[in-house]
Structure formats: structure tokens, C-alpha cells
Structure 1
Amino acid sequence: MCRALLPLFVMISLYITGLELPTSSLIKAVILTCVGCMLAAYGEVNLNVVGLLCLIGNFTFEAGRLVLLQVLLVGHEFHPVQGLKLVGPAILTCLCLSSLVVEVPRMMKHKGIEIVLDNWPVFLVAATLGLCVNLISLLIIKMSGSTTLKVMQAAAVMY
């Protein structure tokens, strides 16, 4: 539920960098999302300082990533496919390296690679849908901004 607070970080980051001046309706949507998140998380007594610091670090880097994407897509008039072409190789490299370290040893131990090979059409459809989600996200950033994307994602998480 704390991920629903990310639109606030994104909106503040875009305002600080001068990329976006939030409208009153956007501020209301972000505040409503944050209040809903806080109400849903009310009463959580297992607060961990390390977890909180990781969450704040995650929010900061995610907001920075979205600010940079918005600079490319809106400020430099990049097409969303160009944006995906620019960030895709870096994302693929990070995911492959982390997968090799974390997931492949467990997959080898539990015969997970056989599951992937036996069900390759399902994994191909999942990969295609992931590509579509990334393209749509970049289109939303280009057309209406990063804050709108995060408000939509937070609303989807809450409901």
C-alpha cells in the first residue's frame, strides 16, 4: 500500500525540476490517493527502519527515473518507441544479471527451466504483454505526464 505514496514523490520531483506545474485537480487526485493509502495502512505496527529507508530510496530513484523519462519524451520530443529503445538494453542487462544471481540457481535446483521450455507460449504472451505495458506507460508519460501515470497505477493498486 505504501507504493500508492509514489505519486506524491513524482509530483514534487517534477515541480522541483520545473518540468510540471501541478494543477489543482492533479494535487487533489494525489492527496486523495495518499490519504486512501494512509487509511489502508493505518494500524500497521511492524514498522521497520531499514524497510522505511529502502522504501524512501526506492521512491527517490523511481521519481528520478520518471523525471528523466519525461525529459526525454516531452522535452526532447522522443517517440515512446525511441524511449523504450534507449532504456531497454539497460533494463535487460540489469534483469539478466540479477536473474542469473538470484533466480537461475533455484530454477536449476527445482527444474524450473523445464517448466519454461514446456510452457514457452505462455511465457511469450507474458513477455509481449510486458512490452505493451511499457509502451503504454511511455505513451501516458508523453501525453499527460509521469504524475498521471503514477496516480493511475496507485488507484489500480488500491482497488
Structure 2
Amino acid sequence: MDQALLYQILISYTYVAIWIGLSAGVILFNKYLLSVYGFPFPIALTMIHMGFCSFIAILLIRVFKIVESINMEVETYFRAIVPIGALFSGTLWLGNAAYLYLSVSFIQMLKALMPVSVFLVGTLFGTEQYSNKIMLNMAVVTVGVMIASYGEINFVLTGVLMQLASILFESSRLTLVQILLQRRGMKLNPITTLYYIAPACFCFLSVPFVLIELPKMQESVDWNFDVTIFAANATVALGLNLAVFLLIGKTSALTMNVAGVVKDWLLIGLSALLFHQPVSSVSLGGYALAFGGVCYYNYLKLKDMQAQPPSRLEEGSQQKP
């Protein structure tokens, strides 16, 4: 094998391993803080992440000028960034809140519904083209998740509704990114994305924090907070954003999708091992069905990308969120 090709393969696998490790690390770290460590405040945890990411992004762009900013008009910020920031804050808040009620493994199974939600929302707003084949595929994924839910040992409706709402917020955010940013020709890397969106998320989250969590934190002393631990948690979250940039920039969005499949199965196993949360055979069977549907959906998307002219194919790989 050519030495240069072997080196490129090793680099690509290194990026994949880093992204899988950081992505799984953030999920397991958040689960530990919210359910085990003694900090049951998902809004506050999300605000810490957004505040830290905002601070680092400002340093890199405004102070050290390592990353070049873009000239964004005030009108564009309020019409594009603010709605995306509102949806993203809902995604993070509700996704973290679900860890208070559900196991990591079951949450990963529910996340298999993401392509279904993206397809339905995208069809509604015209960013996805409807087809009976894809709709049937989405039905298979949905049935698989329903079977997995039926077999879940610790099924909590509140947690399920929170996770489903998080998925809906995220699919709506991805659709708005395509409509409000990509169609304007704006391309944001993770640092500039954090620079514009993280402060907006922090502001949106401050409202439910003041109304919901702050009174609970003031009334109770039965919770823990260590600056070192939370700084480490926020650093891992920031590292994940950088790893996404490296993975897509140095490989492809398709590679990230494949890596995501590996990460999901890894998290299911680690959740059962670390948090002693067993997974029933019915749930695994249902998730396997949903997993097959998601893989087939990715295959159809790959064929569609390959059928596009080279210029459109390159553009699509660069703009995929």
C-alpha cells in the first residue's frame, strides 16, 4: 500500500477515534453530573457549557485573532442566528434534562428517530423531497424505536417526552440552518458558530433558569459543585465542537455518520457497564431494526449525493451541518 495513502487512512481513523471518544465522553460526563454526582440542574449545566464556549470563542476571535470572524449584519443576526440559538438552547436543555429520567442506552435508541424528524420537518419546509420509499424507511425506523421503548426496563414518560422534544428542536434547527444560513451563502466553522450562537443560547437559557432552577438551588443545599470538575466538563464539550470540525473538514460528513453508528453501540454497552443499567433483549432487537433503517437511509442519501454533478456534490459535503 502506498505510504502516503496509509498515512492518510491512519490520520482519518485518528480523527474518528477522537470524535467518538469526546462525543461519548460528553454524554457520559453529563449523565454522571446530573444523575450520580449530585447536580440535578440541566439548565445550569447547559448554561455553563454555553458560557465557557462563548468565552473561548471570543478569546480566539477577538483577542488572539486565531480564527477569522465574518462580517454579519445586525439584521442577519436577529433573523437567522437568534431563532437558531433559541432552538439549539431547547435541544441542549431538554436533551440534558432527559438524563435525569432515562438511561444513556435508551436515549441513544430514541435518537435513532432523528432522521425521521429531520425528514418530516424538512419536507414541511421544502428542504427535503418527499418519496414513498423514504417514508416507508422512516416508518421502519419508527417501529423499531417503538419496540425498543416497549422493551425498556426503566421507561419514564417524562424523560421520553423531553428527549422527543429535544429531537424535534434539533431537526428544526438543522432545517433553519439550511434555510437561513446556507441559502445566504454563509459558512460558519465551529468557532464562529459558537461565537454567534453560544451567547444567544446562554441568554435564552437564563430565562427558564431564573424561573425554574434558581429557586430550587437557593432552597436546597443538597447539591454539589466543584469548579475543577465542571471546568473539565465544559472543556470536553468544547473539545467535541473542535473534533466535529476536524472530522468533517479532514474526512467527510458520511464518515461522521458512520462513526456515529459506532458511537451509539459503544454508548449502549458503556451505559450498561458504568451505570449498571441493563438493556432488555426486546429493546436491543427494536434498536437493531431502527439501526438497519437508519443505515439504509444513509445509503439512499449517499446514492443521491453520488448522482449529483461534482460541483453540487462538493458543495453538499462542505455545507452538511
| TM-score, normalization by structure 1 | 0.60
Cα distance 1:128–1:76, how it changes in 2: closer, same or farther (>3 A)?
A: same
The alpha carbon displacement at 1:56 in A equals 6.7
Alignment partner, residue 82 of structure 2: none
Matches within 5 A, 1:51-62: 58-62=166-170
User: Which residue matches 1:122?
Assistant: 229
CA RMSD of aligned residues (A): 4.7
CA distance in structure 2 between the aligned counterparts of 1:56 and 1:134, rounded to whole angstroms: 23
Aligned-residue offset at 1:134: 4.1
Distance 1:32 1:127, change over 3 A: farther
Mapped pair 1:76 → 2:186: yes
Give how far 1:73 is off.
6.2
Structure 1, unmatched stretches of 5+, are none
Partner of 2:260: 152
- Are 2:131 and 1:131 equivalent residues in the alignment? no
Match for 2:204: what amino acid? Answer: C
2:212 alignment partner, one of 93, 96, 102: 102
2:203 aligned partner: 93
Shift of 1:37: 1.4
Amino acid at match of 2:199: P
1:4 maps to a residue whose letter is A
Q: Structure 1 residue 87: deviation in Å?
A: 1.3
Q: Distance in 2 between matches of 1:124 and 1:53?
A: 30
Please give the alpha-carbon distance, in whole angstroms, between the structure 1 residues aligned to 2:147 and 2:121: 24
Alpha-carbon distance in structure 2 between the residues aligned to 1:139 and 1:68:
23
Which is higher, the Rg of structure 1 or of structure 2? 2
Verify the 8 A CA contact 1:69 1:83 in the aligned structure 2.
Answer: no
Residues 92, 15 of structure 1: alpha-carbon distance in 2 compared, 3 angstrom cutoff: same
Q: Is the 8 A contact 2:190 2:241 kept in 1?
A: no
- Partners of 2:113 and 2:145 within 8 A in 1: yes
Q: Check 1:30–1:82 CA distance in 2 against 1; reply closer, same or farther (3 A cut).
A: farther
Cα 1:60–1:21 shift into 2, 3 Å = same
The 10-residue stretch of structure 1 (97-106 or 11-20) with the greater mean CA deviation from structure 2: 11-20
1:88 to partner: Cα distance? 0.7
1:64 corresponding residue in structure 2: 172
After TM superposition, the runs of 4+ consecutive aligned structure 1 residues lying more than 6 A away are 26-32, 50-56, 138-142
CA–CA separation in structure 1 for the residues paired with 2:192 and 2:241: 12
- Number of equivalenced pairs: 148
| Residue-by-residue CA offset, 1:19-72 (whole Å, 9 max, x unaligned) | 5679xxx9999677544312212378x9x8x99988776544321111223453
Q: 1:20 to 1:127 in 2, by over 3 A?
A: same
Instruction: Report percent identity of matched pairs.
Output: 27
